[in-house]
Chains A and B, each alone.
Chain A
Amino acid sequence: MRAATVLRGTLPFAVLVGAWALVAGAGAVPAMFLPPPADVARVAWELARDGALALHVAASLARVLVAVAVSVPLAVALGVLVALHRRLAAVAEPIVAFFNALSGIAWLPLAVTWFGLGWASVTFIMFNTVFFLVFFNTLVGVRLVPRLFEHAVLTLGGSRRHVILHVLLPGALPSIVTGLRLSLGFGWRALIAAEMIATSTGLGFLIYNAANFHQSDTILVGIVTIGVLWLLTDRLVLQPLERRTIERWGLVAAGS
């Protein structure tokens, strides 16, 4: 059973690579535009061996991790706090929605103005993107928790604090997790773009720099790495998180 699913997952890629090899091999397209898979594999090996790939992957991942580690707790805490006050929440929602809409690469020129070129600006972009999206989803998620649940726990003698921790937070969790998924999606893309412009390490830089030297094989290595990293994030982080919360509790997430 396991083998069958693995096969089903990899066969399409095998076919794709096969088609790719055929087109490249036929000589219709110059190698500079479409390097054959063998070349790309060779370059991947070289980059991995001399640590360059690891360096760039680590740089990008480090930025993601730092941004997420700082922004998510902050966003959730603020989101819960604001959601508790009806008027504040009503006013805050559109403001946060606007900043959501603005999130990402659009902040780069301003970030560079403030922080100069380098990892600070780039991490700021990621932080920004994750923060507002998770904040928004937390805000909406908490406000959507049925009053009924709050009442039920109050009639059990639960304190306000207990209600926040044991009703509002778990109730908002599906929304928060969805927010995390979305923000990682947007954030990761913004990060790559920012790395192309504002810094000299990271996968974005790797592929953009390679373009200057017409190194299409390196570019493709970078692209595949980006795709694989996202799929790993999805498979190893997001899906388990969703399984443990949304699916386990039979809930539907808001705000997707």
Chain B
Amino acid sequence: MAKIALQGLAHEYVNPFTRERVRALEDVTLEVDEGEFLTVVGPSGCGKTTLLNILAGLLQPTRGTVLVDGRPVRGPGRDRGVVFQEFAILPWRTVERNIAHGLEIQGVPRAERAAIVRRFVALVGLEGFERKYPHELSGGMKQRVAVARTLAADPAVMLMDEPFASVDAQTRITLQEELNAIARATRKTILFVTHNVEEAVFLGDRCCVLSRRPGRVKALVPVPIPRERRTWRLLTADPTFAATRDLVLRLVREEVGGEDGAR
């Protein structure tokens, strides 16, 4: 049984400012296996974030079913952890208290909590910053806290909404590699939304390309590169990577139309 199963998902809403009906998604059918890292790309406005929000339970789809571990999604919950694009860690909690937050909610006893937090602080490389407040951290560090927080809560599935978009290019590269390492180590099922094609191919076991609005699954492109090989140093010279990336880029560009392409 697939970890995540979307069937005939469609979503429509009314723009509060212009009052027109917008069809964000149309007939999205998709399955994600346990332990798979699926990236979702598409042109701006294709509904990637809507898709993620529906999966997270923050949005109710107008049509279709969403099953996680065979059960329908009714609302947000700890089985679907989310890392948001904007910095969603709480400004009034220190790094360690933010990371511990999911565990607090679950009622994990203090000593155990501390041990888990320590582990994840190390995992995301934030040793020494445990007592800092978010406003004292850089963007990259804040997202590391967000990732650690979600991971520490041990969700069945991780949903990531362009988490590295607000971070500078250098840091983004580092974070991508770190995320890869984490994915390998934890073998979590991850659904990762991005508009950056290179990132999508770098990270994903499969790459789901959405069409332009209303978003449909245009293609599911497998990325046949073993996870151990996924470092930027290696992949920049790898022909399979280049070929896959070019393919996905072409698919996305087709949806955008016009010469300037997917950026």
A interface residue numbers (CB < 8 A to B): 148-149, 151-159, 162, 166-167, 170-171, 173, 245, 248-251
* The one of A149, A157, A245 that contacts B77, using a Cβ cutoff of 8 Å: A157
A249 vs B75: C-alpha distance when bound (angstroms): 30
Instruction: Select from chain B the residue with minimum beta-carbon distance to A250.
Output: B135
Instruction: Select from chain A the residue with minimum beta-carbon distance to B135.
Output: A250
Q: Is the pair A149, B78 in contact by a Cβ cutoff of 8 Å?
A: no
Task: Show 18 A/B contacts (Cβ-Cβ < 8 Å), sorted by A.
Answer: A149-B88, A151-B56, A153-B101, A154-B76, A155-B81, A155-B159, A156-B102, A156-B105, A156-B150, A156-B153, A157-B79, A245-B92, A248-B92, A248-B133, A249-B92, A250-B135, A251-B91, A251-B92
Provide the residues of chain A in CB contact with B75, threshold 8 Å. Answer: 154
Provide the residues of chain B in CB contact with A167, threshold 8 Å. Answer: 90
A57 vs B82: C-alpha distance when bound (angstroms): 55
A97 vs B102: C-alpha distance when bound (angstroms): 38
Interface size on B, residues (CB 8 A): 31
Q: Is the pair A249, B78 in contact by a Cβ cutoff of 8 Å?
A: no
Instruction: Select from chain B the residue with minimum beta-carbon distance to A159.
Output: B105
Provide the residues of chain A in CB contact with B86, threshold 8 Å. Answer: 148
Provide the residues of chain A in CB contact with B57, threshold 8 Å. Answer: 155
15 A-B pairs besides A155-B76, A156-B78 with CB distance below 8 A are A148-B86, A151-B76, A152-B84, A152-B89, A152-B146, A153-B90, A154-B76, A155-B58, A155-B80, A167-B90, A249-B91, A249-B135, A250-B91, A250-B135, A251-B135
Tell me, rounded to whole Å, the shortest Cβ–Cβ distance linking B175 to chain A. Answer: 18
A162 vs B103: C-alpha distance when bound (angstroms): 13
A245 vs B133: C-alpha distance when bound (angstroms): 12
Provide the residues of chain B in CB contact with A171, threshold 8 Å. Answer: 92
A3 vs B146: C-alpha distance when bound (angstroms): 45
Q: Is the pair B92, A170 in contact by a Cβ cutoff of 8 Å?
A: yes
Instruction: Select from chain B the residue with minimum beta-carbon distance to A154.
Output: B76
Provide the residues of chain A in CB contact with B82, threshold 8 Å. Answer: 151-152, 155
Instruction: Select from chain B the residue with minimum beta-carbon distance to A157.
Output: B78
Q: Is the pair B76, A173 in contact by a Cβ cutoff of 8 Å?
A: no
A173 vs B88: C-alpha distance when bound (angstroms): 18
Provide the residues of chain A in CB contact with B153, threshold 8 Å. Answer: 156-157
Tell me, rounded to whole Å, the shortest Cβ–Cβ distance linking B150 to chain A. Answer: 8
A154 vs B135: C-alpha distance when bound (angstroms): 22
Please judge, given known A-B contacts A155-B56, A155-B81, A156-B81, whether A173 and B92 are in contact too, CB under 8 Å: yes
Provide the residues of chain A in CB contact with B80, threshold 8 Å. Answer: 155
Q: Is the pair A151, B133 in contact by a Cβ cutoff of 8 Å?
A: no
A151 vs B56: C-alpha distance when bound (angstroms): 9
Provide the residues of chain A in CB contact with B146, threshold 8 Å. Answer: 152
* The one of B79, B88, B136 that contacts A152, using a Cβ cutoff of 8 Å: B88
Please judge, given known A-B contacts A154-B58, A249-B133, A250-B135, whether A148 and B91 are in contact too, CB under 8 Å: no
Tell me, rounded to whole Å, the shortest Cβ–Cβ distance linking A254 to chain B. Answer: 14
* The one of B92, B133, B135, B149 that contacts A156, using a Cβ cutoff of 8 Å: B149
